[in-house]
Structure 1
Amino acid sequence: MAKNHRRKQQAKVIRIFRKLHRTTGALLFFFFLFISITGLLLGWKKNSSGLILAKTEKGTSTELSEWLPLDTLKLTALKIFRDSISSETSLEIDRIDVRPDKGVLKFKFKDNFHGIQLDGATGALLKIENRRSDFIEQVHDGSILDRYLGTSNGQIKLFYTSVMGLSLLLFSVTGFWLWYGPKRMKRISKNS
């Protein structure tokens, strides 16, 4: 009688896990689809022949002492942005990626997905890039919603990544139990 009760309890747990697994999967299907596609694209970005992540160009000198001052290079990048990309878009710089080994600086702007690569020694324009990988990354982690809805501290990203991370954890646990539970029940039944 005790074995039969235990078997019923195990079957009940498996049914609950199956329902949790199925319901969570149905509710979050599109989010998992976005995460998987964008994750795949991000994994391939360096091997996309410049389609997702622009190739970093080479400057004329890797010797930092030969480079122009940073503020001069910044002003050059801002002028190029105004003249070649947009005179109406914000010129706020999000970050400057300094690549001494390639002799180049990459300027990434805050409110758009453009970048400018300059030669560190001459200030010459090496490339204007569309930063597709930044867009894909923001879709992947949900911060694109913070950007377009104007939330201040990444609240949507935090909520989104928490829900998706906990859901993936739930999927892992319930998925494992849906695979292992019946095997365990068969083994116990066989040994009885």
Structure 2
Amino acid sequence: MPSFLNLRVLSRKAHRWGAIAIAVPFLVVIATGILLQLKKEWSWVQPAENRGAGTVPVVSLERVLAAAQSIPEAGIRSWADIDRVDVRPAKGIMKITSNSRWEIQVDSETGAVLQTAYRRSDWLESLHDGSWFHPQAKLWLFLPTGVIVFVLWLTGIYLWLLPLRTRRKRARLLAVEGGGPVPRRDRAASGTRNTA
């Protein structure tokens, strides 16, 4: 049996079983990736950014905490309930993200609350990279999924090119035997045209 046939069979099996093995994690990666691509366009994923009064943050951190505490949905009682504070000087805002994923946008000059909304993009990112399931899922499930997708790509390209290669060989063989059209490459070299 020729070696390319073994490679073809092996490629088909790897392609089939690889696709089955990664179906669920890859679906999660694709679905969350699509949503994350839309996070700036769709406020359901990530709240739109407002603009504050100035561009220099002058409001004190105590006032920022007080503004965040004034939003009951966020459940902020102390700094321990805050995941992060994102300062955007060009937009004049500070974005406070609570541990419960609520985002409060505060004017960095006046301390006024500009917007409050639930932020889903962080949760989607943790689903996308697998860390939502388990801290080690990134390395033990989602990284192998990426490697298998790469192998699927390689085997898919091979399986796509194989029939093209076979057709070219067959056409060349027919041309040599005199029973078929002259292959394109040979036509260009000899200056002949196939009129059939």
* Distance of aligned partners of 1:116 and 1:91 in 2 relative to their CA distance in 1, 3 Å threshold: farther
Which residue of 2 is the match for residue 150 of structure 1?
none
Q: 1:103 aligns with which of 74, 92, 105?
A: 92
Identity of aligned residues (%): 31
Corresponding residue for residue 111 of structure 2: 123
Query: Does residue 20 of the first structure (1) align with residue 14 of the second (2)?
Result: yes
Aligned residues: 173
Q: Deviations over 1:47-71 (max 9, x none)?
A: 22x222211111121133xx112x2
Quick one: which of 36, 52, 55 aligns to 2:48? 55
The answer to whether 1:76 aligns with 2:66 is yes
What's the CA shift for 1:185?
2.5
Q: How far is the alpha carbon of 1:155 from its aligned partner?
A: 1.9
Q: From the CA coordinates, give the structure whose radius of gyration is larger.
A: 2
**Contact kept in structure 2, 1:73 and 1:118, CA below 8 Å:** no
CA distance in 1: counterparts of 2:143 and 2:154, whole angstroms: 17
CA contact (8 A) 2:51 2:91 kept: yes
Shift of 1:90: 8.8
Q: Which amino acid aligns with 1:55?
A: A
Residues 1-192 of structure 1 correspond to what in structure 2 (within 5 A)? 8-48=2-42, 50-64=43-57, 67-69=58-60, 71-81=61-71, 83-86=72-75, 91-109=80-98, 111-146=99-134, 154-192=135-173
Give the aligned residue type for 1:100.
Answer: P
Is contact 1:94–1:108 with CA below 8 Å preserved after alignment?
yes
Is 1:118–1:124's contact at 8 Å kept on the other side of the alignment?
yes
Q: TM-score, normalised by structure 1?
A: 0.79
**How many angstroms apart in 1 are the aligned matches of 2:59 and 2:54?**
11
Deviation of 1:75 after TM superposition, in Å, equals 2.1
State whether residues 21 and 175 of structure 1, in contact with CA within 8 Å, keep that contact through their aligned partners in structure 2.
yes
Deviation at 1:100, TM superposition (A): 0.9
Unmatched 5+ residue regions in structure 2? 174-196
1:107 alignment partner, SS class: strand
How big is the shift at 1:88? 8.3
Aligned-pair RMSD on alpha carbons? 2.3
Following the alignment from structure 1 to structure 2, what is the Cα–Cα distance between the partners of residues 95 and 172?
A: 39
